Amino acid sequence: MADSVIGIHDDDRETSAGEADDHFHDECGVFGIFGRQDAAAIVTLGLHALQHRGQEAAGIVSYDGSQFHVERHVGLIGDTFTKQSVIDRLQGTRSIGHTRYATTGGAGLRNVQPFFAELSDGGLAIAHNGNITNAMTVQRALQKQGAIFSSTSDTETILHLVATSKQRDTNARFVEAVRQIEGAFSLVALTSKKMIGCRDPLGIRPLVLGDLDGAWILASETCALDIIGARFVRDLKPGEMVVVTTSGIESHFPFEPAKSRFCIFEYVYFARPDSSVEGRNVYDVRKKIGVELARESPVDADIVVPVPDSGTPAAIGFSQEAGLPFELGIIRNHYVGRTFISPGDSIRHMGVKLKHNANRRMIEGKRVVLVDDSIVRGTTSQKIVQMVREAGAKEVHMRIASPPTRASCFYGVDTPEKAKLLASRMSVEEMADFIRVDSLGFLSIDGLYRAVGETGRDAQAPQFCDACFSGEYPTRLLDFEGADNVRSLSLLATGGQ
């Protein structure tokens, strides 16, 4: 018998973005817990620790033994899910949640996860981090068979695939669904009897397993376990599906075995520095990145200044390796969201000034090495460099803790289309002119691989997904074939930019 939903509380405010675009955007954090009183309150805390993975909207679904409860709100977890009335509505000992970063367009509440539907054998809620690269193709085929979609999110496709599966048992239906999707997906799903976690065959996005006094937890990052005092058990393996029930946990491997291609950008920028992913502490990796950068691109200077907060660990590594003082020459106002997060160019431009201020006393008359994690459009660097020059720096040298970002991500990290990526249209010298620095250095791709503990990048079989830097995508991109981004792939792959 189908479970009835007693409450779907959708906050009726739409997010700030205007027209929906025709691309799926997901940059998210997921969290789930099975078998614990106040499950939804714990999910709230977990999502709060994962807030850096998405700040526009969030949702939590719980199951109380007879009914599902669904809450979706636009805004930060701390602003929306800490209200007692909201938590009181989310009864039950099992709960999953999702925090979402919506980019320009497609940011309406209808896209906020977890998605929930009543299927023939009961309710199913799904939360997804990643991006399904054949979702539009699958969606069109389903629509031809009469399926109706209520969102522009790729995640809803999974719900439909499970719903239309002819398999009898939930696990088999879920397996049949995930075998039809391609791309990057770390999923957490909830039915009346189970919590399911699943990672795509290449393990592009993270998903970890934790334990809180016997209650199983699934989370995007370990920092979400720390906040509730849970024990880290292990990373889910690429292609692994775990099923948690009242009898315990089982592990399945529904896909053809494949070599892991974890997203290297999680180490560069996306994951929180206090998380450990795939056996490496993110802060350690970022510091090593700084060390590699100092070796590859040394510079005669007086101080090393991070662009806070994203450049800080790499700047520490750089300063230690270079033997130069580390100084907070730029101060960040913590009461503004990530610059990048604001949809719309005009706000984004304004955002940089709202967020950072030069610490004139540290900078005046000095030769400054600025360290940031990446250059995307170049807007942040341009403004920061101007600010540091206006504060009286004698020289400004920019060092970037990753290789040039040349290609868009189709796996769940929000990057603009290729044409808007500064490194896709300019050489390093041209970029240095554009951001008005005395010198500009990026980390090499081999340097990045060394920082994560490899001897270098294996060109024949890369150990990570580094598509944003190399332009080599580890899966086919069915929905995007013919798009500008993809047309230039063959050029990039042969270095023929």
Nearer to ligand AMP, 200 or 372 (CB): 372
- For the record, the structure tokens of 138 come out as 């699958």
H or E element that contains 493: helix 489-493
CA angle 160, 162, 164 (to 5 degrees): 65
Q: Is 466 annotated as a binding residue?
A: no
Distance CA 351, CA 339 (A): 5
Q: Return the residue of 121, 414, 466, 479 that touches ligand AMP, per CB under 6 A.
A: 414
Neighbours of 213 (CB within 10 A): 9
Q: Binding-site residue total for ligand AMP (CB under 6 A)?
A: 18
Binding flag, residue 375, ligand AMP (CB under 6 A): yes
Distance CA 120, CA 125 (A): 14
Annotated active-site residue 223? The verdict is no
Q: Which stretch binds ligand AMP (CB under 6 A): 117-125, 175-183, 217-225, 410-418?
A: 410-418
Distance CA 72, CA 470 (A): 37
Q: Return the residue of 373, 393, 473, 485 that touches ligand AMP, per CB under 6 A.
A: 373
Nearer to ligand AMP, 75 or 378 (CB): 378
Q: Is 198 annotated as a binding residue?
A: no
Q: Do 71 and 78 contact (CB within 8 A), yes or no?
A: no
Binding flag, residue 269, ligand AMP (CB under 6 A): yes
* Least separation in angstroms between CB 186 and ligand AMP: 17
Nearer to ligand AMP, 379 or 485 (CB): 379
Nearer to ligand AMP, 29 or 123 (CB): 29
Q: Which stretch binds ligand AMP (CB under 6 A): 90-98, 217-225, 377-385, 453-461?
A: 377-385
Place of tokens 């007879």: 66
Q: Which stretch binds ligand AMP (CB under 6 A): 66-74, 142-150, 151-159, 368-376?
A: 368-376
Binding flag, residue 437, ligand AMP (CB under 6 A): no
Distance CA 151, CA 9 (A): 16
* Least separation in angstroms between CB 352 and ligand AMP: 7
Q: Is 409 annotated as a binding residue?
A: yes
**Active-site hit among 24, 25, 27, 28:** 28
Distance CA 74, CA 111 (A): 11
Q: Which stretch binds ligand AMP (CB under 6 A): 154-162, 184-192, 229-237, 413-421?
A: 413-421
Q: Do 399 and 424 contact (CB within 8 A), yes or no?
A: no
Q: Do 471 and 462 contact (CB within 8 A), yes or no?
A: no
Helix, strand, or coil (residue 418): helix
Nearer to ligand AMP, 362 or 435 (CB): 435
Nearer to ligand AMP, 113 or 382 (CB): 382
Binding flag, residue 340, ligand AMP (CB under 6 A): yes
Task: For residue 117, list its beta bridge partners.
Answer: 124
Nearer to ligand AMP, 377 or 389 (CB): 377
Q: Return the residue of 138, 376, 387, 448 that touches ligand AMP, per CB under 6 A.
A: 376
Count of CA atoms in the C-beta half-sphere (13 A) of 466: 25
Residues 297-316: x where in contact with ligand AMP by CB under 6 A, - otherwise, as a string = ----------x--x------
Q: Which residues contact residue 42 at a Cβ distance below 8 angstroms, ignoring those fewer than 6 apart?
A: 33, 36, 95, 212, 228
Q: Which residues contact residue 166 at a Cβ distance below 8 angstroms, ignoring those fewer than 6 apart?
A: none
Q: Do 372 and 318 contact (CB within 8 A), yes or no?
A: no
Nearer to ligand AMP, 63 or 464 (CB): 464
Q: Which residues contact residue 224 at a Cβ distance below 8 angstroms, ignoring those fewer than 6 apart?
A: 29, 31, 45, 46, 47, 49, 50, 210
* Least separation in angstroms between CB 273 and ligand AMP: 13
Distance CA 497, CA 495 (A): 6
Binding flag, residue 467, ligand AMP (CB under 6 A): no
Binding flag, residue 413, ligand AMP (CB under 6 A): yes
Q: Return the residue of 186, 374, 475, 488 that touches ligand AMP, per CB under 6 A.
A: 374
56, 230, 278, 454 from 113: Cα distances, Å: 11, 24, 25, 36
Binding flag, residue 377, ligand AMP (CB under 6 A): yes
Q: DSSP alpha helices (H): ranges in 215-359?
A: 223-226, 265, 282-296, 312-322, 345-355
Interstrand relation of 94-100 and 57-63 (parallel, antiparallel or unpaired): antiparallel
- For the record, the structure tokens of 373 come out as 């994690």
Q: Is 373 annotated as a binding residue?
A: yes
Binding flag, residue 379, ligand AMP (CB under 6 A): yes
Nearer to ligand AMP, 27 or 71 (CB): 27
Binding flag, residue 292, ligand AMP (CB under 6 A): no
Binding flag, residue 378, ligand AMP (CB under 6 A): yes
Binding flag, residue 131, ligand AMP (CB under 6 A): no
Distance CA 376, CA 468 (A): 10
Binding flag, residue 51, ligand AMP (CB under 6 A): no
For every residue of 184-200, DSSP letters joined together read: EEEEEEEESS-EEEEE-
Binding flag, residue 380, ligand AMP (CB under 6 A): yes
* Residues binding ligand AMP (CB under 6 A): 269, 307, 310, 338, 340, 372-381, 413-415
Residues labelled as active-site residues: 28
Q: Which residues are annotated as a binding site?
A: 263, 310, 372-373, 409, 465, 468
Q: Which residues are annotated as a binding site for Mg(2+)?
A: 310, 372-373
Q: Which residues are annotated as a binding site for [4Fe-4S] cluster?
A: 263, 409, 465, 468
